[in-house]
């Protein structure tokens, strides 16, 4: 009898529990040896969640099964939740295995091909889904409470970085904070978003036009947090980089409520930029 092994560990699990890939592999290999299964291949999933089937090694495993199914009798896992923590995905994977006559084996759980064994599989898979849903709910609740307290809970926005205090991450200004200030000032002084982007590219900052717009519209830079948890802006506990007057003036310009004013004091090399008109179309001329 031939078998393949699938092991998986998330980054958090590997850090907090003794469920390393090596431990899983050793237990699965020992299970195969005791049952006299010949292991032909091992798939090792490193640091990926079982919430979805969009996993590198799992996709390779399913492709391998389609090609080598005649040479595979069993798929061995350390625990059923290594394969999936989503009941629908688990059922789909089981259907694929059944299609090719491959039996799923757990090295640490009692399951089998009998009606009772299949029932136990479904119960274990359901509990994995339940546990996953509970974790997600706790995570969302924790994030909501953190935002309510004024803490940023996502990837640090451009111009900020995280500093951990008492095991909690807090936003503090980064070395790029001056670039954020420059983006706002340049926009108010007449530069278009693509012009700001092109200039920053020259200085080695890969900030496209969309990121310039995202920066200009993000209230995090005035010390506030916008999220789907609340229908209002939450006062953040981080230091703002932009004055509120400047920020909301930028919003009015972006929304078309007021026209952008060109500050000729900041554009000494083009003193007539505000005044010269094209004799053909009467539109204002610019310079570069």
Q: What is the tens place of the pLDDT at every residue in 167-206? A: 888 999 999 999 999 999 999 998 999 999 999 998 888 8
Q: Where are the domains of the chain?
A: 2-143, 160-257
Cβ-in-10-Å burial (0-12, 13-18, 19+) of 49 comes to middle
- pLDDT tops 70 at residue 263: no
Query: ∠192-194-196 over CA atoms, to 5°?
Result: 70
**What does the pLDDT look like over 135-149, one tens digit per residue?**
778 778 888 888 999
- pLDDT tops 80 at residue 131: no
159: left (phi over 0), alpha (psi -120 to 50) or beta: left
More confident residue, 263 or 56: 56
Confidence at residue 265, expressed as pLDDT on a 0 to 100 scale: 46
Q: How far apart are CA 169 and CA 97, in angstroms?
A: 43
Q: Is the pTM of this model over 0.85?
A: no
Closest among 229, 250, 242, 248 to 151, alpha carbons compared: 229
Instruction: Write the CB contacts of 172 (distance below 8 Å, at least 6 apart in sequence).
Output: 160, 161, 162, 163, 238, 239
Confidence at residue 273, expressed as pLDDT on a 0 to 100 scale: 72
- pLDDT tops 80 at residue 117: no
Mean pLDDT of the region 151-156:
92
More confident residue, 269 or 184: 184
More confident residue, 259 or 262: 259
Q: Which two tokens stand for residue 46?
A: 């490193």
CATH of domain 2-143: 3.40.50.1390
CATH fit for domain 160-257, picks 3.30.565.10, 3.20.20.10, 3.40.1190.20, 3.90.1750.20: 3.90.1750.20
**Count helices and strands in the chain by DSSP H and E runs:** 10, 8
Confidence of residue 165 (pLDDT cuts 50, 70, 90): confident
**What does the pLDDT look like over 67-100, one tens digit per residue?**
999 999 999 999 888 888 787 888 888 889 889 9
Count CB neighbours of 185 within 10 A. 15
Q: How far apart are CA 252 and CA 57, in angstroms?
A: 49
């Amino acid at each position: 009898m031939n078998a393949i092994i699938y092991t998986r560990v998330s980054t958090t699990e590997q850090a907090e529990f003794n469920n390393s890939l090596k431990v899983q592999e050793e237990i699965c290999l020992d299970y195969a040896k005791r049952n006299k299964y010949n292991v032909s291949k091992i798939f090792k999933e490193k640091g990926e969640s079982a919430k979805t089937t969009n996993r590198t090694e799992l996709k390779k495993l399913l492709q391998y099964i389609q090609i080598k199914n005649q040479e595979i009798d069993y798929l061995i896992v350390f625990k059923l939740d290594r394969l999936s923590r989503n009941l629908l995905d688990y059922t789909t994977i089981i259907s694929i295995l059944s299609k090719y006559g491959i039996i799923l084996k757990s090295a640490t759980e009692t399951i089998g091909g009998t009606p009772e064994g299949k029932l136990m599989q479904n119960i274990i898979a359901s509990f994995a889904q339940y546990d996953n849903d509970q974790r997600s709910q706790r995570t969302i609740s924790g994030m909501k409470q953190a935002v309510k307290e004024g803490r940023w809970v996502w990837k640090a926005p451009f111009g900020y970085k995280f500093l951990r205090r008492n095991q909690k991450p807090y936003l503090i200004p980064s070395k790029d904070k001056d670039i954020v200030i420059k983006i706002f000032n340049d926009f108010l002084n007449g530069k278009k978003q693509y012009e700001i982007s092109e200039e920053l590219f020259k200085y080695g900052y890969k900030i496209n036009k969309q990121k310039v717009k995202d920066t200009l519209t993000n209230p995090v830079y005035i010390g506030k947090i916008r999220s789907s948890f609340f229908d209002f802006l939450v006062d953040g506990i981080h230091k703002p980089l932009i004055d509120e007057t400047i920020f909301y003036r930028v919003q009015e310009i972006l929304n078309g409520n007021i026209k952008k004013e060109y500050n000729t004091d900041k554009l000494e090399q083009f003193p007539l930029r505000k005044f010269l008109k094209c004799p053909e179309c009467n539109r204002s001329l610019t310079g570069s």
